[in-house]
Amino acid sequence: MSSSDTSSERIAKRLARAGVASRREAEKIILAGRIAVNGKIIDSPALNVTDADAITLDGQPIGAKEPVRLWRYHKPAGLVTTERDEKGRATIFDRMPPELPRVMSVGRLDLTSEGLLLLTNDGDLKRRLELPSTGWVRKYRVRAKGVPSEALLEPLRKGITVDGERFLPMQVSIDRQQGANVWLSIALREGKNREIRRALEQIGMSVSRLIRVSYGPFQLGELASGAVEELRPKILREQLGIKRETDRVTPDAAKPKGLRSRTVRRPNRR
Protein backbone atom coordinates (compact mmCIF):
# COMPACT_ATOMS: atom_id res chain seq x y z
CA MET A 1 0.00 0.00 0.00
CA SER A 2 1.34 3.39 -0.94
CA SER A 3 0.35 7.00 -0.53
CA SER A 4 3.24 8.43 -2.55
CA ASP A 5 3.16 6.30 -5.71
CA THR A 6 1.88 8.43 -8.58
CA SER A 7 -0.16 5.45 -9.83
CA SER A 8 -1.96 5.06 -6.52
CA GLU A 9 -5.58 5.99 -5.87
CA ARG A 10 -8.03 5.97 -3.01
CA ILE A 11 -9.42 2.54 -2.19
CA ALA A 12 -13.03 3.70 -2.66
CA LYS A 13 -12.21 4.98 -6.14
CA ARG A 14 -10.47 1.70 -6.94
CA LEU A 15 -13.58 -0.22 -5.89
CA ALA A 16 -15.78 2.07 -7.97
CA ARG A 17 -13.57 1.59 -11.03
CA ALA A 18 -13.85 -2.17 -10.60
CA GLY A 19 -17.63 -1.94 -10.65
CA VAL A 20 -18.11 -2.91 -7.01
CA ALA A 21 -20.17 0.14 -6.05
CA SER A 22 -20.21 3.92 -6.20
CA ARG A 23 -17.55 5.64 -4.11
CA ARG A 24 -20.07 6.49 -1.42
CA GLU A 25 -21.38 2.92 -1.23
CA ALA A 26 -17.81 1.60 -1.37
CA GLU A 27 -16.99 3.61 1.74
CA LYS A 28 -19.89 1.93 3.54
CA ILE A 29 -18.63 -1.48 2.45
CA ILE A 30 -15.18 -0.62 3.79
CA LEU A 31 -16.56 0.58 7.13
CA ALA A 32 -18.49 -2.70 7.38
CA GLY A 33 -15.16 -4.58 7.35
CA ARG A 34 -15.81 -6.38 4.08
CA ILE A 35 -12.66 -5.21 2.26
CA ALA A 36 -9.17 -6.59 2.75
CA VAL A 37 -5.95 -5.26 1.22
CA ASN A 38 -3.06 -7.69 1.01
CA GLY A 39 -4.85 -10.00 3.41
CA LYS A 40 -5.59 -7.36 6.06
CA ILE A 41 -9.13 -6.15 6.74
CA ILE A 42 -9.34 -2.36 6.52
CA ASP A 43 -11.84 -0.15 8.32
CA SER A 44 -11.13 3.25 6.79
CA PRO A 45 -11.47 4.60 3.25
CA ALA A 46 -8.50 6.92 3.89
CA LEU A 47 -6.12 4.58 2.14
CA ASN A 48 -4.34 4.66 -1.22
CA VAL A 49 -3.70 1.49 -3.19
CA THR A 50 -1.84 0.58 -6.37
CA ASP A 51 -2.23 -2.13 -8.98
CA ALA A 52 0.26 -4.20 -6.99
CA ASP A 53 -2.10 -4.46 -4.01
CA ALA A 54 -4.36 -7.51 -3.68
CA ILE A 55 -7.89 -6.38 -2.81
CA THR A 56 -10.74 -8.68 -1.83
CA LEU A 57 -14.43 -8.20 -1.08
CA ASP A 58 -15.87 -10.78 1.33
CA GLY A 59 -12.80 -12.88 0.65
CA GLN A 60 -13.12 -12.77 -3.14
CA PRO A 61 -10.73 -10.81 -5.38
CA ILE A 62 -12.31 -7.77 -6.98
CA GLY A 63 -12.17 -7.43 -10.74
CA ALA A 64 -9.54 -5.51 -12.63
CA LYS A 65 -10.13 -1.88 -13.57
CA GLU A 66 -12.25 -1.84 -16.70
CA PRO A 67 -12.98 0.76 -19.37
CA VAL A 68 -16.09 2.79 -18.59
CA ARG A 69 -19.14 1.15 -20.14
CA LEU A 70 -22.83 2.06 -20.28
CA TRP A 71 -25.93 0.08 -21.23
CA ARG A 72 -29.58 0.81 -21.93
CA TYR A 73 -32.01 -1.59 -20.26
CA HIS A 74 -35.76 -1.83 -20.78
CA LYS A 75 -36.97 -2.65 -17.28
CA PRO A 76 -40.23 -4.62 -17.19
CA ALA A 77 -42.81 -3.99 -14.49
CA GLY A 78 -42.63 -6.38 -11.56
CA LEU A 79 -38.88 -6.31 -10.92
CA VAL A 80 -37.10 -4.56 -8.05
CA THR A 81 -34.15 -2.27 -8.89
CA THR A 82 -31.85 -3.57 -6.18
CA GLU A 83 -29.15 -6.23 -6.09
CA ARG A 84 -30.92 -8.09 -3.31
CA ASP A 85 -34.48 -7.81 -2.03
CA GLU A 86 -35.30 -8.44 1.61
CA LYS A 87 -38.77 -9.66 0.61
CA GLY A 88 -37.41 -12.19 -1.84
CA ARG A 89 -38.86 -10.50 -4.91
CA ALA A 90 -37.20 -10.86 -8.31
CA THR A 91 -34.70 -8.11 -9.11
CA ILE A 92 -33.48 -6.74 -12.41
CA PHE A 93 -30.12 -8.39 -11.72
CA ASP A 94 -31.78 -11.81 -11.57
CA ARG A 95 -32.79 -11.36 -15.20
CA MET A 96 -29.60 -9.96 -16.71
CA PRO A 97 -27.84 -11.86 -19.53
CA PRO A 98 -25.13 -14.13 -18.09
CA GLU A 99 -22.44 -12.55 -20.27
CA LEU A 100 -23.06 -9.12 -18.77
CA PRO A 101 -20.30 -8.01 -16.33
CA ARG A 102 -21.07 -6.68 -12.88
CA VAL A 103 -23.18 -3.55 -13.36
CA MET A 104 -24.97 -0.95 -11.27
CA SER A 105 -28.18 0.89 -12.06
CA VAL A 106 -28.18 4.64 -12.55
CA GLY A 107 -30.99 5.58 -10.20
CA ARG A 108 -34.04 3.37 -9.84
CA LEU A 109 -37.47 2.62 -11.18
CA ASP A 110 -39.93 1.28 -8.62
CA LEU A 111 -41.50 -2.18 -8.73
CA THR A 112 -44.45 -1.34 -10.95
CA SER A 113 -42.66 1.16 -13.20
CA GLU A 114 -41.07 0.20 -16.49
CA GLY A 115 -38.96 1.64 -19.27
CA LEU A 116 -35.45 3.00 -19.64
CA LEU A 117 -32.88 2.28 -16.97
CA LEU A 118 -29.20 2.99 -17.51
CA LEU A 119 -26.61 0.48 -16.28
CA THR A 120 -22.89 1.04 -15.86
CA ASN A 121 -19.82 -0.80 -14.62
CA ASP A 122 -18.33 2.43 -13.24
CA GLY A 123 -19.27 3.76 -9.81
CA ASP A 124 -18.05 7.28 -10.54
CA LEU A 125 -20.19 7.53 -13.67
CA LYS A 126 -23.20 6.18 -11.78
CA ARG A 127 -22.91 8.90 -9.15
CA ARG A 128 -22.31 11.61 -11.73
CA LEU A 129 -25.42 10.72 -13.74
CA GLU A 130 -27.56 10.59 -10.59
CA LEU A 131 -26.56 14.02 -9.29
CA PRO A 132 -29.35 16.62 -9.49
CA SER A 133 -26.73 19.09 -10.71
CA THR A 134 -26.44 17.06 -13.91
CA GLY A 135 -29.81 18.56 -14.77
CA TRP A 136 -30.82 15.88 -17.23
CA VAL A 137 -34.50 15.68 -18.07
CA ARG A 138 -36.28 12.39 -17.42
CA LYS A 139 -39.33 11.86 -19.63
CA TYR A 140 -42.24 9.53 -18.92
CA ARG A 141 -45.47 8.36 -20.48
CA VAL A 142 -48.06 7.98 -17.76
CA ARG A 143 -51.51 6.40 -17.78
CA ALA A 144 -53.70 7.64 -14.96
CA LYS A 145 -57.30 7.41 -13.91
CA GLY A 146 -59.13 10.69 -14.29
CA VAL A 147 -60.26 13.34 -16.74
CA PRO A 148 -57.84 16.18 -16.04
CA SER A 149 -58.20 19.76 -17.17
CA GLU A 150 -55.29 22.08 -17.84
CA ALA A 151 -56.19 23.90 -14.64
CA LEU A 152 -55.99 20.68 -12.63
CA LEU A 153 -52.47 20.01 -13.91
CA GLU A 154 -51.22 23.54 -13.31
CA PRO A 155 -49.94 22.87 -9.75
CA LEU A 156 -47.58 20.24 -11.18
CA ARG A 157 -46.22 22.77 -13.65
CA LYS A 158 -45.64 25.33 -10.92
CA GLY A 159 -44.19 22.91 -8.39
CA ILE A 160 -46.17 21.04 -5.77
CA THR A 161 -45.61 20.09 -2.13
CA VAL A 162 -46.59 16.58 -1.04
CA ASP A 163 -46.39 15.56 2.63
CA GLY A 164 -44.01 18.43 3.28
CA GLU A 165 -41.71 17.55 0.37
CA ARG A 166 -41.33 20.07 -2.43
CA PHE A 167 -41.24 18.83 -6.03
CA LEU A 168 -39.77 21.02 -8.72
CA PRO A 169 -42.00 22.16 -11.61
CA MET A 170 -42.77 19.42 -14.13
CA GLN A 171 -43.56 19.62 -17.80
CA VAL A 172 -46.99 18.02 -18.22
CA SER A 173 -49.11 17.60 -21.34
CA ILE A 174 -52.25 15.60 -22.12
CA ASP A 175 -51.72 13.09 -24.91
CA ARG A 176 -55.14 11.49 -25.16
CA GLN A 177 -58.17 10.58 -23.11
CA GLN A 178 -59.35 6.97 -23.18
CA GLY A 179 -62.62 6.69 -21.31
CA ALA A 180 -61.87 7.01 -17.61
CA ASN A 181 -58.12 7.00 -18.23
CA VAL A 182 -55.75 9.58 -19.67
CA TRP A 183 -52.25 9.31 -21.14
CA LEU A 184 -49.90 12.09 -20.04
CA SER A 185 -46.37 13.06 -21.03
CA ILE A 186 -44.38 14.20 -18.01
CA ALA A 187 -40.81 15.48 -17.84
CA LEU A 188 -38.82 16.35 -14.72
CA ARG A 189 -35.23 17.05 -13.70
CA GLU A 190 -35.14 15.21 -10.41
CA GLY A 191 -36.05 11.70 -9.45
CA LYS A 192 -37.42 11.67 -5.93
CA ASN A 193 -39.05 8.51 -4.62
CA ARG A 194 -42.36 7.87 -6.44
CA GLU A 195 -42.46 11.53 -7.39
CA ILE A 196 -44.89 11.33 -10.29
CA ARG A 197 -47.27 8.95 -8.54
CA ARG A 198 -47.35 11.05 -5.40
CA ALA A 199 -47.79 14.31 -7.29
CA LEU A 200 -50.71 12.97 -9.30
CA GLU A 201 -52.32 11.50 -6.20
CA GLN A 202 -52.11 14.95 -4.64
CA ILE A 203 -54.40 16.32 -7.37
CA GLY A 204 -56.79 13.38 -7.19
CA MET A 205 -55.44 11.08 -9.91
CA SER A 206 -54.03 7.55 -9.64
CA VAL A 207 -51.32 6.12 -11.88
CA SER A 208 -51.94 2.71 -13.47
CA ARG A 209 -48.88 2.62 -15.73
CA LEU A 210 -45.62 4.57 -15.78
CA ILE A 211 -42.99 4.21 -18.52
CA ARG A 212 -39.71 6.10 -18.60
CA VAL A 213 -38.98 6.88 -22.24
CA SER A 214 -35.75 8.86 -21.88
CA TYR A 215 -33.01 9.82 -19.45
CA GLY A 216 -31.14 12.88 -20.65
CA PRO A 217 -30.00 12.20 -24.22
CA PHE A 218 -30.59 8.45 -23.95
CA GLN A 219 -33.84 7.13 -25.41
CA LEU A 220 -35.82 3.94 -24.80
CA GLY A 221 -36.78 3.84 -28.47
CA GLU A 222 -37.71 0.40 -29.79
CA LEU A 223 -35.68 -1.53 -27.22
CA ALA A 224 -37.71 -4.63 -26.34
CA SER A 225 -38.94 -5.17 -22.79
CA GLY A 226 -36.25 -6.99 -20.81
CA ALA A 227 -33.54 -6.32 -23.40
CA VAL A 228 -30.09 -4.89 -22.68
CA GLU A 229 -28.00 -2.91 -25.17
CA GLU A 230 -24.50 -1.54 -24.74
CA LEU A 231 -23.85 1.97 -26.02
CA ARG A 232 -20.93 2.39 -28.37
CA PRO A 233 -17.73 4.18 -27.28
CA LYS A 234 -18.55 6.92 -29.82
CA ILE A 235 -21.79 7.66 -27.96
CA LEU A 236 -19.98 7.84 -24.61
CA ARG A 237 -17.48 10.24 -26.13
CA GLU A 238 -20.12 12.47 -27.73
CA GLN A 239 -22.66 12.49 -24.90
CA LEU A 240 -20.48 12.20 -21.80
CA GLY A 241 -16.99 13.22 -22.88
CA ILE A 242 -15.63 9.76 -22.04
CA LYS A 243 -12.64 8.66 -24.06
CA ARG A 244 -12.18 4.92 -23.86
CA GLU A 245 -8.44 5.08 -24.37
CA THR A 246 -8.02 7.09 -21.15
CA ASP A 247 -11.36 6.44 -19.44
CA ARG A 248 -11.54 10.05 -18.33
CA VAL A 249 -14.72 12.04 -18.05
CA THR A 250 -14.58 15.67 -19.11
CA PRO A 251 -16.12 18.20 -16.68
CA ASP A 252 -19.00 19.03 -19.02
CA ALA A 253 -21.03 16.46 -20.93
CA ALA A 254 -21.64 17.09 -24.58
CA LYS A 255 -24.99 18.43 -25.69
CA PRO A 256 -27.66 15.75 -26.27
CA LYS A 257 -27.55 14.24 -29.73
CA GLY A 258 -29.44 11.48 -31.47
CA LEU A 259 -28.47 7.96 -30.54
CA ARG A 260 -28.18 4.89 -32.66
CA SER A 261 -28.57 1.37 -31.33
CA ARG A 262 -26.07 -1.42 -31.53
CA THR A 263 -26.75 -4.97 -30.38
CA VAL A 264 -29.80 -6.06 -28.41
CA ARG A 265 -29.19 -8.81 -25.91
CA ARG A 266 -32.23 -10.58 -24.63
CA PRO A 267 -32.39 -11.90 -21.07
CA ASN A 268 -32.69 -15.53 -20.04
CA ARG A 269 -36.27 -16.63 -19.66
CA ARG A 270 -37.41 -18.25 -16.49
The type of residue at 195 is E
Q: Give CA torsion, residues 189, 86, 77, 98, to 10 deg.
A: 100
Question: By CB neighbour count within 10 A (0-12 exposed, 13-18 middle, 19+ buried), where does 61 fall?
Answer: exposed
Tell me: the pLDDT tens digits for 146-165?
Answer: 999 999 999 999 999 999 99
Tell me: the pLDDT tens digits for 207-216?
Answer: 999 999 999 9
**Average pLDDT rounded to a whole number, residues 58-63:** 88
Does the pLDDT of residue 188 top 50, yes or no?
Answer: yes
Q: How far apart are CA 52 and CA 36, in angstroms?
A: 14
Active centre residues (catalytic): 110
Q: What is the pTM of this model?
A: 0.73
Q: How far apart are CA 76 and CA 90, in angstroms?
A: 11
Output the CA torsion sign for 268, 116, 18, 23: negative
User: Regarding predicted confidence, which is higher, 36 or 256?
Assistant: 36
The pLDDT score that the predictor gives to residue 244 is: 57
Those residues whose C-beta lies under 8 Å from the C-beta of residue 74, and which sit 6 or more positions away, are 114, 115, 116, 117, 220, 223, 224, 225, 226, 227
